[in-house]
Structure 1
Amino acid sequence: MSEEKGAVEGLAVVDKEAGWTSHDVVAKARGVLGTRKIGHSGTLDPDATGVLLLGVGRATRLLRFLTPLVKQYEAELVLGVETTTLDAAGEVTAIHDMAGIGPQEVAAAAADFVGDIMQVPPMVSAVKVGGRRLHELARQGIEVERKARPVIIHDLVVAPVGIGTGVYRMEVSCSSGTYIRSLGADIARALGGGGHVRALRRLAIGSFTVSEAHPVDSPVLLPMGAALRDHPAVTAGEDLGRRVIAGQVLGADELGGAGGGPWPVLDSRGRLLAVYEPYTEGWVKPAVVISP
């Protein structure tokens, strides 16, 4: 599709329903918005619900700046029952008697997972091993060794759901790439048993929360400038704006962006002109240029 003026574009904050893959949501949005140029940031499991960010039109070029944003989730950890997928959709593989484990023990085990940790991706995931996605191998009954990857658990709160149910509500704030299913299974394993996660819901990606999310059949498009609201913006005057649109490398002091970047550059009307990122020492370069 051409990127001509007037094309449908922007960021949609979607509240994904259970039973939909992230690809299903993109396919539906293409029909609703009448364009094929749509991508998403932050895959959600089919059984999971909550925030999924869709880039539409030229906003697809901005998705990579949204991927690193902190994610927030809620879920329920069911102790005592292991499954093939680490969630309620899988087949039961083991049963453990964990009736004697109480809230204090669960909270203590969970506290050990706060901070920088190493996490093994589940077999049912989109991670590639040997050029093939793990979920494709899992469907064929093949399990392969996966390397642990560094993730960050910024905050983790667990609380019992009812008395003596063995079910705990989890509230998690974490880095991109964290698997909540694996986190739940690892906590259960640390308690000497096993478990799985159910009712997984993503509450936020950065500042984009479920409170502003819409169903995929009635998406609301935010302007591209708002799509990068979690990054410190620079408002360019007329002269700087011309240089930015031309894609010029600039001195860092000329741009005047705060922090380590990336920096969305807006015109006086709040329209996105470009996104700049660090280049060599003292210099910044455009990662994306958008003509308003």
Structure 2
Amino acid sequence: MEQQTYGEVFLIDKPYRWTSFDVVKKLRNALKIKKVGHAGTLDPLATGLLIVCAGKQTKNIDSYQAQEKEYTGTMVLGKTTASFDLEREIEHVADPSHLGPESIQAAADTLTGDILQVPPMHSAIRKDGKRVYESARKGKTVELDPRPVRVSLFEITGVELPQINFRIICSKGTYIRSLARDLGEKLGVGAYLSRLTRTRIGSYRLEDAWELQDLISKIKAERNEDI
């Protein structure tokens, strides 16, 4: 396969517990080319739409990354973790049973629009040349500056305490784990993210994505046809 002329964009439903790079590596091996990259990281514990570009399409990665994202998922109120998801040990904070759908939505509404957000300590962003999660896992605290993001929608779609379901539409660089943290703080009971699925990037939708193994099988079958 000539990488200079080949270019393709793949929509993939990232498997649970796979890193985004795991998906890239799998596709790189199947395609037998080096120039493969993804357009926006999903945490290992998240699932959903991952855009992967191959060959000459990798030059368009930034344009895909810049597009609006949509997520659905579940948060748990009353408890939290150091990573604000299931990666770290769960800690009790406060009983959330007094909260109703209206008060939870009202708190979510305060986290919409153009806001400043502090990324979670357990994230892949770099500070002083190091990934901050590397310091966090060693018990070190890193001061992170708040960053401007836009949350167009933070809708509470279901309440069955301590769990709440949500739908979020947001800009590039928004951390859903940070929204869980901030919602828990506003409600005074703590919160963490227990499930997350990315359903849309710009006009690209999860329902049009490949299951990874199905895509790998298709690529391998086509390569056999070419031989």
User: TM-score, normalised to structure 2's length?
Assistant: 0.91
Structure 1: distance between partners of 2:154 and 2:215: 31
Question: Is this contact kept in 2: 1:51–1:210, CA < 8 A?
Answer: yes
Question: What's the C-alpha RMSD, in Å, of the aligned pairs?
Answer: 1.5
Question: Is this contact kept in 2: 1:184–1:197, CA < 8 A?
Answer: yes
Question: Is this contact kept in 1: 2:119–2:144, CA < 8 A?
Answer: yes
Question: Is this contact kept in 1: 2:78–2:190, CA < 8 A?
Answer: yes
Partner of 2:197: 201
Partner of 1:183: 179
Partner of 1:123: 121
Structure 1: distance between partners of 2:39 and 2:122: 19
Structure 1: distance between partners of 2:135 and 2:87: 17
Partner of 2:219: none
Partner of 2:4: 4
User: TM-score, normalised to structure 1's length?
Assistant: 0.71
More helix by share: 2
Q: How many residues align?
A: 216
Runs of 4+ in 1 over 4 A off after TM superposition: none
Match of 1:169 among 165, 181, 186: 165
Question: Is this contact kept in 1: 2:16–2:46, CA < 8 A?
Answer: yes
Question: Is this contact kept in 1: 2:4–2:56, CA < 8 A?
Answer: no
Q: Equivalent residue of 2:212, what SS?
A: coil
Q: Which has the larger radius of gyration?
A: 1
Structure 2: distance between partners of 1:204 and 1:39: 18
Question: Shift of the alpha carbon at 1:199?
Answer: 1.2
Question: Shift of the alpha carbon at 1:94?
Answer: 3.7
Match of 1:63 among 52, 61, 79: 61
Question: Is this contact kept in 2: 1:121–1:179, CA < 8 A?
Answer: yes
Question: Shift of the alpha carbon at 1:3?
Answer: 3.6
Structure 1: distance between partners of 2:22 and 2:92: 32
Q: Which has the higher contact order (CA 8 A, sep 6+)?
A: 2
Structure 2 letter corresponding to 1:169 = N
Question: Shift of the alpha carbon at 1:97?
Answer: 1.4
Deviations along 1:45-90, one digit per CA (max 9) or x if unpaired, are: 0000000110100111110111110000001111001101101221
Question: Shift of the alpha carbon at 1:2?
Answer: 6.1
Partner of 1:225: none
Identity among equivalent pairs (%): 38
Question: Shift of the alpha carbon at 1:218?
Answer: 3.2
Deviations along 1:258-277, one digit per CA (max 9) or x if unpaired, are: xxxxxxxxxxxxxxxxxxxx
Question: Is this contact kept in 1: 2:181–2:192, CA < 8 A?
Answer: yes
Question: Shift of the alpha carbon at 1:23?
Answer: 0.7
Alignment map for 1:82-231 (pairs within 5 Å): 82-162=80-160, 165-219=161-215
Q: Equivalent residue of 1:218, what SS?
A: helix
Structure 2: distance between partners of 1:217 and 1:134: 32
In structure 2, stretches of 5+ residues that fail to align are: 217-227
Structure 2 letter corresponding to 1:69 = Q
